[in-house]
Amino acid sequence: MSLPDAGRSGRRQQRPAELIERHIEYVDGIGRPVHLAAPFVHHFWQRKNDTALPIVSAVTTMPMVLPDGCILSGRGLDRQRGIVFRIPTELLALLPKAEDCTPRAVGEAIRFLADDWLVDVATGYEASVS
């Protein structure tokens, strides 16, 4: 079984095992990468309604801000939301800690956005920070 080519000439079609191996590396007893055997791959195809495997709905490379102001970030799968986070470590290091987000710090950040960063955006203050 193979999946349709993405339309790039010269590129062969990827088999299901190769698609799995792009995200999961299986190794033998001494740590060498191994190719998935067909029965293993077919086993995954048969588990479509199995709730033991998580369902991934999205992959993101940027932090997400929830309506309540909480920041979702990190690396790996958020099983509750079905989101895989692939945020660069360098970016994660720049995110503020929750305890540092005091009302004063938030106010300074909003002033920076409105008065410096978005200064050339043609809107009123309320629109630029909401």
Q: Render pLDDT for 91-130 as a digit per residue (tens, 0 to 9).
A: 999 998 888 989 999 899 888 988 888 888 776 656 555 5
Q: What is the CA radius of gyration of the chain?
A: 22
Task: Show the tokens assigned to 10.
Answer: 């010269």
* Residue-range domain boundaries for the chain: 1-53, 57-95, 96-130
> In angstroms, rounded to a whole number, what is the distance separating the alpha carbons of residues 85 and 76?
5
- The three-state secondary structure class of 107 is helix
Is pLDDT larger for residue 123 or for residue 22? 22
> In angstroms, rounded to a whole number, what is the distance separating the alpha carbons of residues 91 and 70?
17
Q: Render pLDDT for 43-84 as a digit per residue (tens, 0 to 9).
A: 777 776 777 777 788 999 999 988 887 889 989 999 899 999
Q: pTM score, two decimals?
A: 0.52
Q: What is the mean pLDDT of the chain?
A: 80
